[in-house]
Amino acid sequence: MTNGVFPARAGSRLGVALLPSKTGVPGVFQEVAELLEREGFLVAAPDMPWSRSRYLDATLEAALEEIAVTLQALQAKGAPLVVLGGHSMGAVAALAYAAARGGVAGLIMSAPGHFPDYPGFHRDLGDSLARALKMVKTGRGHETGQFLDRIMGRISLRAIKARVYVSFFSPEGPMAPGRNAARLSPDIPVLCLLGSNDPLSPRAREHVLARLPFNPLSRVLTITGEHMEVPGAAQGEILAWLKTLPQ
């Protein structure tokens, strides 16, 4: 599978855009994308500002613009209805887009990760966020600093522009999934897939899923596997859920 928009069968009306995980690659959804293509869906798997090849080279606000372009490309190819999905940080970014802009026929959240508005998230990152916020407030947001990051519990030091760091890590910023879940339109159905052996699953249930509005087509499924295994293990469930959506 390569990045971009894949062909759909004649008559397909539903497109699916799949966003990668933090420091991940579009291939995290390869099995899912190939299955959906065979079933006649139009699929896009774009590289994003939090991907391995780009991490973190743009603000979340800029990333939302990139998502909009991806959705528009799907629509131009013949899919007026588009479902937006993502894995881990990609799931949280997909939620941020859907909450802020709407315009999607459904939302797929695979093993949501990255919860900057969750209590305790900044236990190790607080000093870095404070420095980044100060740089932004003093007109130095375009400058690169050395800030702490956490990926699956591992802390590392990364060179990131201050304004980019703030957009992804501030509890008051646009990435905050707890707030975004609460303001998601009830017209948007959600499929949430949680790994049975994913340590982030309880946090996702408590902080995100509990705040989502009710929609009769929404589903929460527990998938056997660890965090990175969820998309491949859930491909059948994803296909089945997509077929429940009005087209």
Q: Tokens 């899912």 appear where? A: 32
- Give the per-residue pLDDT at 12: 52
Which residues does 8 contact at the CB level (< 8 Å), separation at least 6? Answer: 15, 37, 40, 41, 42, 77, 78, 79
Q: Looking at the chain, how many residues does it have? A: 247
Specify the pTM: 0.93
CA pair distance 104, 98, nearest whole angstrom: 7
What are the residue ranges spanned by the domains of the chain? 14-118+174-242, 122-170
CA-based nearest residue to 91, from 161, 14, 195: 195
- In angstroms, the CA 98 to CA 209 distance is 15
Rounded CA separation 238/167 (Å): 30
Answer yes or no: are the C-beta atoms of 87 and 64 closer than 8 Å. Answer: no
What local confidence, expressed as pLDDT, does residue 23 receive?
Answer: 87
Q: Are 182 and 211 in contact (CB under 8 A)?
A: yes
Q: Is 136 helix (H, G, I), strand (E, B) or coil?
A: helix
- pLDDT tens-digit series, residues 3-22: 444 433 434 579 999 999 99
Q: How far is CA 150 from CA 16, 124, 147, 169, 198, in A?
A: 29, 9, 10, 10, 16
3-state secondary structure of 153: coil
14-118+174-242 domain in CATH 1.10.8.350?
no
Provide φ and ψ at 110, rounded to 5°.
Answer: -100, 115
Residues of the chain with pLDDT under 70: 1-12
- Bridge partners (DSSP) of residue 219 are 191
Q: Give the 3-state secondary structure of residue 15.
A: strand
Confidence at residue 211, expressed as pLDDT on a 0 to 100 scale: 98
Q: How far apart are CA 69 and CA 182, in angstroms?
A: 25
Q: How many other CB atoms sit within 10 Å of the CB of residue 59?
A: 21
- Per-residue pLDDT of 131-161, as tens digits, reads 999 999 999 999 999 999 988 778 999 999 9
What pLDDT is attached to residue 26? 74
